[in-house]
Structures are given as structure tokens and as C-alpha cells.
Amino acid sequence: KNEVEQSPQNLTAQEGEFITINCSYSVGISALHWLQQHPGGGIVSLFMLSSGKKKHGRLIATINIQEKHSSLHITASHPRDSAVYICAVPRAGSQGNLIFGKGTKLSVKP
Amino acid sequence: GAGVSQSPSNKVTEKGKDVELRCDPISGHTALYWYRQSLGQGLEFLIYFQGNSAPDKSGLPSDRFSAERTGGSVSTLTIQRTQQEDSAVYLCASSFVGWANNEQFFGPGTRLTVL
């Protein structure tokens, strides 16, 4: 079993739909990160959270530490949201050694 | 202000040659990270520098890989005797403090192709 699992692997949505991407992990963590990788390859950090919920624009990230699960939601999705979304957690005992999920490829159709 | 920069953006080399990849982090960022992403694969941690502490090298795949960070700023990732399986995009990131506490800022990456 992978230490960080994301679902779905691929997701196609129509513009305006509500999107949910899930991340489950098997290690104890201090924080979880959501990253966005654009089609051109550039990576942007979206959220770092250790509890509860964070919101930035149309993006919402939630985490349940007890259940070792996080979700990334996109409201009113837009074609420019098309990207690969990656969750990552620190390996136990290390701040910088990270375990990455394989990513969820989102395609939003106009 | 400038973000994280990496050079070269693309590097094509022959099997067996050594290569050096450079990363210029955001000024003032104390933590620097190297990752790689092979074609169709996920991100893979390589090495992490934090201030003056000994780097976490646990992600380096073999002793052909090494990295240094001079003066707490610029970092160079060196791959000796390159192999075809080293072909990947090598990404650098920096943050103000360690990953668990602060947002990372990623560079554009260096695409390495080993022929």
C-alpha cells in the first residue's frame, strides 16, 4: 500500500462543476500540502494545513487528522483549473523528506 | 522580486558524462529542496538543506548523485557518470523555514536527457 494515495487518478469535469480530489495517507504527519502542477510543468503550492479547513478563492482544502484523509475542493470549476493536483506529506522524522501522491489529473471542459 | 531560478532549463548529455544543475533560491529562504520527476512519474524527493544543518540526503538514488549549497544560498546538484534512467525533470524549491511550516516555492526545473 502506498503511503500517500490520491483519487481519482483522472478527472474530467464540465465548466462550473464542483470538484473533489481525495488524499489518504498512512503515516502520522504534522502537515499536509496540496500542490498544483500546470500543463507546462510549473508547480505551485496551494495549501499547507495541519487541521480543519483552509480556503483560497474557489479552492478549499480540508483535513481529518484522525482519519488520515484530506480533500481538495474546487467550486465553480473553470478550464484554467486544468492541471495535476498533488498531495504530499513529510516522511516521519523529517521536515524536508516528502512523500508525494501520484497526482490527480483534472481536465475542465468549457 | 525574483522567484526560484534554475539553470540550465534543458540539458542533453551522453551516457557516462557528468552534469551540474544549478538552483538559485529566493533570497532569504533558509530551506532548499531538490526533487525529480521522471516521465509519467510522480515527484520524488532527493535532498533537503536547512540553514547550516547537515543536509537530509536520504532521497539521493545512488552515490553518483551529490549536492551542495554554498553560502546558504545557491545549490548545485551533480550527477556523475549519467545513466539513461537519470533522464527526468529536476526541480528545486525553497522556503523560509522547513517544509512542515512554510510554503515552498518551486523553480521551473531543468529537463535532463541522457542519450
- pLDDT for A2: 63
- Confirm if B96 and B50 have CB atoms less than 8 A apart: no
User: Which chain A residues touch B26 with a CB distance below 8 Å?
Assistant: none
Nearest to A31 by CA among A75, A1, A61, A7: A61
Q: Between these two residues, A39 and A6, which has the higher pLDDT value?
A: A6
Residue A82, Cβ density class (10 Å: 0-12 exposed, 13-18 middle, ≥19 buried):
middle
Q: What is the pLDDT of residues A55-110, one digit of tens each?
A: 999 999 999 989 999 999 999 999 999 999 999 998 877 767 788 999 999 999 99
Per-residue pLDDT of chain B (115 residues; tens, 9 = 90+): 589 999 999 999 999 999 999 999 999 898 999 999 998 788 999 999 988 888 999 999 999 999 999 887 999 999 999 999 999 999 999 988 765 557 889 999 999 999 9
Of A41, A95, A99, the CB nearest to B89: A41
CB of B43 within 8 Å of any CB in chain A? yes
A4, A95, A102, A105, best to mutate vs chain B, most B CBs in 10 Å: A95
User: Which chain B residues touch A90 with a CB distance below 8 Å?
Assistant: 99-100
Q: What is the pLDDT of residues A34-67, one digit of tens each?
A: 999 998 878 999 999 989 999 999 999 999 989 9
Compute CA distances A82 → A56, A96, B10, B95, whole Å. 17, 28, 25, 26
User: Which chain B residues touch A98 with a CB distance below 8 Å?
Assistant: 33, 35, 43, 45, 99
Contact B99 A30 (CB under 8 A): no
User: Which chain B residues touch A31 with a CB distance below 8 Å?
Assistant: 99-101
Q: Is the N-terminal amide bond of A8 cis, ω within 30° of 0?
A: yes
Per-residue confidence band for A18, with pLDDT thresholds at 50, 70 and 90:
very high
pLDDT average, residue stretch A24-32: 84
